[in-house]
Amino acid sequence: MGIKVCKFGGSSVKNSLQIKKVIDIVKDDNNRRVIVVSAPGRDEQYDEKITDHLLNLATNGKHFSEQKVDITAKNSLSAIINKFNTLCEDLEIKKESILNDLKKDLEKNFSNQEKNKAYFLSRGEHYNAKIIYEFFKLQGLNIKLMLPEEFGFILNEEYCDGKVKYETYKNIKTNFTFEKDEIYLVPGFYGITKQNDIVVMSRGGSDLTGGELAYAIDADIYENWTDTNGVYEVDPRVISNANVIPRLTFKELRLLSSKGFNVFHFNAMLNCKKGKIPINIRNTNNPKHDGTIILSERVPMENLVGIAKLDNMASIHLQKDMLADEIGFTAELLKIFSEVGINTYHYPTDKDDIAILVEQEDLKGKINNLRREIEKRLNTDNIFITYNLSIITLVGIGLKENTFTIVDAITALKEKNIFFEMFDMSPSKISFHIGVSQNIANIALKTLYESLLENR
């Protein structure tokens, strides 16, 4: 068996109890040789993530005040220090040097605001990794701490949305030699520029760190440890008896995650997909469960694997005679959305109509300018907007060979007198989307689950 890269998220390393579960998992398999850790999860006093406290400190309290959360920068500083102090004490490791360095780092102030944010945000992973490293050593593991600034995890200069530079892969191969049965511990989420400035990736960046490491060393598998047993057939908060999907393709997970299955950072999958490295989503609190394996391809034994639901959507329906014959109409329309700063999802169309699906929140403060620009530049006849939509997406590579599942879905909704606002099948034919009013979305979801998944 080859090398396994393991990433443990914030919930898996949020306190001493969880960290002790992590070391048991690492000890249980000698092939778990690269361990990526996140910042600690939510703190007990404020129920906010340490990463958010760090951002609040970096912005002098603006981060929480903009969310109308009454936590000052001083409160956040106290929460951060208390969190790491508690971890050190509970794990019985020497804390003076770690806490002194942390306090010095949190006193820094860079003139470039984005650089300042990136530096502060990185400290959660940086110091959590140092603490976990000291604990692992105490437990007798042959562990080596690999800091991104030391082994050369090079990112571009977008301080708060860094992208991996090509030389990073060479640096990883050079420094991760796996001699003497060493286990490598790496803080996730951040890297450095060629000028040695700290840069962080997008939120969820520890997933990205793990994915890039797995790709660079050509790992046999990338285990992503979190607080859920895997990817469920349907949201278990709505359907309590939903099952974990044992196997998914990267494409299927991408389709599900774009519609509310937010268990994994999609960009972390890209190079794993390229290298055909399986990803195994596992539960730190239930390590005996096999979780969900994400593969480049699988033999479909079922037509449908999962049903996702994305709430708080809006549909913008445009009418104009013969718009489909107007060259550049759709391109100009999407350009307008981009200029106004609104992300778009589906845009089903026919000869005289096109509908654009967007997140409802994105329209706040922008809908007037959007309508004005569309009418002025495209001379539309009518614009209708439907708010409070939920998009239910059914996914499975087997759907491509059996479109009768669509008939079954529509029949199930008809029998329950559930009216739907839209229907759209993806070009790949492995997913289709049904739009319903949000106030009946959970009923529709349960109906589809009971009809198509529960008793198959």
Map out the domains of the chain as residue ranges.
4-227, 306-454
Closest CA to 9 of 209, 297, 196, 165: 209
What b-and-e string marks burial along 334-362, b requiring 16 or more CB atoms within 10 Å of the CB?
Answer: eebbeebebeebbbbbeeebbbbbbbbeb
353 to each of 314, 331, 387, 434, 437, how far by Cα in Å? 16, 15, 18, 18, 21
Residue 39 is classified by DSSP as -
Q: Are 309 and 258 spatial neighbours (Cβ–Cβ below 8 Å)?
A: no
Strands (DSSP E) found in 80-181: 143-145
Residue 378 is classified by DSSP as H
Q: CB-hemisphere CA count at 13 Å for 152?
A: 14
Options 3.40.50.300, 3.90.180.10, 1.25.40.10, 3.40.1160.10; CATH for 4-227 is 3.40.1160.10
Q: Are 152 and 94 spatial neighbours (Cβ–Cβ below 8 Å)?
A: no
Q: So what's the architecture of 306-454 in CATH?
A: 2-Layer Sandwich (3.30)
pLDDT tens digit at each of 456 positions of the chain: 589 999 999 999 999 999 999 999 999 999 999 999 999 988 777 788 999 999 999 999 999 999 888 999 999 999 999 999 999 999 999 999 999 999 999 999 888 999 999 999 999 999 999 999 999 999 999 999 999 999 999 999 999 999 999 999 999 999 999 988 899 999 999 999 999 999 999 877 789 999 999 999 999 999 999 999 999 999 888 999 999 999 999 888 888 876 556 666 667 778 888 999 999 999 999 999 999 999 988 877 677 899 999 999 999 999 999 998 899 999 999 999 999 999 998 777 888 999 999 999 999 999 999 999 999 999 999 999 999 999 999 999 888 888 788 999 999 999 999 999 988 888 888 899 999 999 999 999 999 999 999 876
Q: Is 240 left (phi over 0), alpha (psi -120 to 50) or beta?
A: alpha
How is residue 204 written in tokens? 């969820």
Q: Are 259 and 308 spatial neighbours (Cβ–Cβ below 8 Å)?
A: yes
Residue 338: predicted pLDDT? 94
CA 329 – CA 324 distance, rounded (Å):
8
Q: Are 391 and 313 spatial neighbours (Cβ–Cβ below 8 Å)?
A: yes
What is the pairing mode between strands 306-319 and 279-283?
Answer: unpaired
Residue 259: predicted pLDDT? 59
Q: Output phi, psi for 262, to 5 deg.
A: -90, 65
Residue 301: predicted pLDDT? 67
CA-atom Rg of the chain in angstroms: 24
209 to each of 41, 201, 204, 261, 428, how far by Cα in Å? 18, 9, 9, 21, 30
Assign 3-class secondary structure to 333-345: HHHHHHHHCCCCC
Let me know if the fold of 4-227 is the same as that of 306-454. Answer: no
Give the containing element (helix H, strand E) for 187: strand 183-187
Q: Output phi, psi for 12, to 5 deg.
A: -80, -15
pTM confidence score: 0.88
